[in-house]
Amino acid sequence: MQAPWLGVAASATGRRWTGLSPEQDRLAEAIAQAGHPHALARHLARRGVLPEGVAGFLAPRLRDLLPDPRGLKDAETAAARLVAAVARSQRIAIFADYDVDGGASAALLVWWLRAQGRVATLYVPDRIEEGYGPNAPAIATLAAAHDLIVCVDCGTLSHDALAAADGTDVIVLDHHLGGETLPPALAVVNPNRQDEDASLGHLCAAAVVFLVLVEANRQMKAAGGAGPDLMAMLDLVALATVADVAPLTGVNRALVSQGLKVLARRQRPGLVALADAARTDGPPSSYHLGYLLGPRINAGGRIGAADLGARLLATADRAEAEALAQRLDALNEERRAIEIRVTEDAKAQAADRAGPVAWAAGPGWHPGVVGIVAARLKEAMHRPAVVIGMREDGLGQGSARSVAGVDLGAAIQRLATEGWLVKGGGHRMAAGLTVEAGKIEGAMARLGELIARQGATLGQPGELRIDGTLMPGAATVELVNRLEAAGPFGQGAAAPRFAFPSLRVVHAKPVGDGHLRLTLSDGGPIRLDAIAFRAGASGISQAVDRAAGAPLHVAGRIEINRWQGRESVQLKLEDVADPAAED
């Protein structure tokens, strides 16, 4: 086994620090010899980038990475039907999921149709009253007044609901795991259909919609026409990709990279208003999408009106956008308060249960926050987590979040087919479910069995991967900017992480809800500012207190902090270790 980085075998968070392998070290040296900073070279080597591929990796071009839409089953059929609906001025309804991916997918279609002088009906189901996905009454009502229904980010498993369309054409553009049979629809475009090869299974629904629109534009061009500018819509695809925690690799990385450039132009009223309401600063990044904009859009579907997020993303009216953004910002604050209460109860309950799955269920837990709480539970216990809110009708509505190496969506879908759940489905990292109160214990036990069979290592914090070692004086704004070229960072593409050995805490101050702001020094003239989020829960605060001014190894990600027009480097501190306890 490779020796731990800086000798850290068990940090304050219980993790083993690991560096690059010998092979990656040699690769990093080869990349650095081409003139790249050693810190960047080491990160690229960890990502598996070869020296001859560095230039293309640092400047990903969508034209080189975008797959042919016709490689997806039913994509040509779906695109042709959309083109025909526009040409015939037919009535089109869009049925969308209530999360960011669903809202962005719907907005893509709305903007594409609007550019051609067409107006679509937008329908987003109520999370509590209607639940996830199409339902028969809603589909029947839409079918009675429309010629085409397009279901986005949902519909793959909605056999009975889509049958209620009763002759009206239905197109499904989705990415959730499919079953053995397809629903009754004209076209089902989904890279996670059972009869697909899953090579594009990492796409979110908005990316699937984008590919279908690429094919639609191609068909329009072949017929002598011209479709709307799709590159200008990549901000919506980028938002959905990051917010839906899709891996930022391959074409996803290119979609987000280009989408962030579109977002920086501040041309979409809804995103401009929301960015201002969230008080974002600096150039847009995947952090802004995932942690500032995404949660606010989701807040509408979680605890407010389900269609608020989709309406915000789809509107061309700046006044309406500002009003919607302010409402979503207020709902997000309300959501956070609810989330804190449920998280405390869920953690206390799950701590008393052993096994491969961390789970908790409680009466009155708001269905709009159980997904976020499941993510918190997963982070705290390093296991797949399920959180269920019990309703007065005796049913529990839950969300599940997974860890690397566990296909949670497949396991949840298996539970549904075995009769443990009323319904359930999702994808590898996230899933939703509805379960009868009397079956919760048995369902969770069975879920544990299915997950254990997958063979993943669960319940341990594991490793903290370190790209290299820096000293405070080397952590410059210039270096951060060079490192940012390897982004965007997110799921499947972790930001560069560095260790700073033997730093003393010059100043530490608790801030916010359990966070810690610090000033660190190696004894030289340059000090390093740092922020450790949830430091109390992770054990970092306690380790800093025990050090009492003695040196600590610290690890985290360097970023640019912007304040009143000035830029400085800040360490987002993720872990600390006592040098005296080195292995």
CA 235 – CA 207 distance, rounded (Å): 11
Quick one: which of 434, 379, 369, 424 has its CA closest to 401? 379
Rounded (to 5) percent helix, strand, coil in the chain: 45, 20, 35
CA 528 – CA 172 distance, rounded (Å): 51
386 close to 411: Cβ distance less than 8 angstroms: no
476 close to 429: Cβ distance less than 8 angstroms: no
Do residue 399 and residue 520 come from a single domain?
Answer: no
CA 389 – CA 412 distance, rounded (Å): 17
Do residue 121 and residue 231 come from a single domain?
Answer: yes
pLDDT, the chain, mean:
94
The CATH number linked to 96 is 3.90.1640.30
In a domain, 342, yes or no: no
Rounded average pLDDT over 237-243: 97
Rounded average pLDDT over 354-368: 92
The CATH number linked to 407 is 3.10.310.30
CA 6 – CA 2 distance, rounded (Å): 12
CA 88 – CA 99 distance, rounded (Å): 31
Do residue 145 and residue 242 come from a single domain?
Answer: yes
pLDDT for 168-198, tens place per residue? 999 999 999 998 999 999 999 999 999 999 8
Axis crossing angle, helix 22-32 with helix 38-46, rounded to the nearest 10: 130
What's the confidence (pLDDT) of residue 218?
98
CA 176 – CA 78 distance, rounded (Å): 18
How many domains in the chain?
A: 4
What's the confidence (pLDDT) of residue 128?
80
pLDDT for 48-106, tens place per residue? 999 999 999 999 999 999 999 999 999 999 999 999 999 999 999 999 999 999 999 99
128 phi, psi to nearest 5 deg? -85, -45
What's the confidence (pLDDT) of residue 460?
63
**CB-count exposure of residue 189 (10 Å: 0-12, 13-18, 19+):** buried
How many residues are listed for the chain in this entry? 583
In a domain, 336, yes or no: no
Strand (E) or helix (H) holding 133: none
What's the confidence (pLDDT) of residue 563?
81
Domain that holds residue 424: 351-453
162 close to 137: Cβ distance less than 8 angstroms: no
In a domain, 340, yes or no: no
The answer on pLDDT for 564 being more than 80 is no
In a domain, 64, yes or no: no
The CATH number linked to 513 is 2.40.50.140
**Sequence-ordered list of residues with C-beta below 8 angstroms from that of 114, at least 6 positions apart, any chain:** 316
557 close to 524: Cβ distance less than 8 angstroms: no
**Residue whose entry in the numeric block shows the structure tokens 């702001």:** 517
3-state secondary structure of 386: strand
Q: What percent of the chain has pLDDT over 70?
A: 98
Name the pairing type of β-strands 187-189 and 148-152.
unpaired
Strands in 423-426's sheet, in edge-to-edge order, are: 358-363, 385-390, 395-401, 430-436, 423-426
Do residue 306 and residue 448 come from a single domain?
Answer: no
Of the residues 426, 453, 480, which one is the last residue of a structural domain? 453
Quick one: which of 557, 469, 495 has its CA closest to 44? 495
Rounded average pLDDT over 394-408: 91
Do residue 474 and residue 439 come from a single domain?
Answer: no
Give CA separation, 539 vs 16, 372, 544, in Å. Answer: 15, 22, 9
pLDDT for 521-550, tens place per residue? 999 999 999 999 989 888 999 999 999 989
Report which DSSP code applies to 292: I
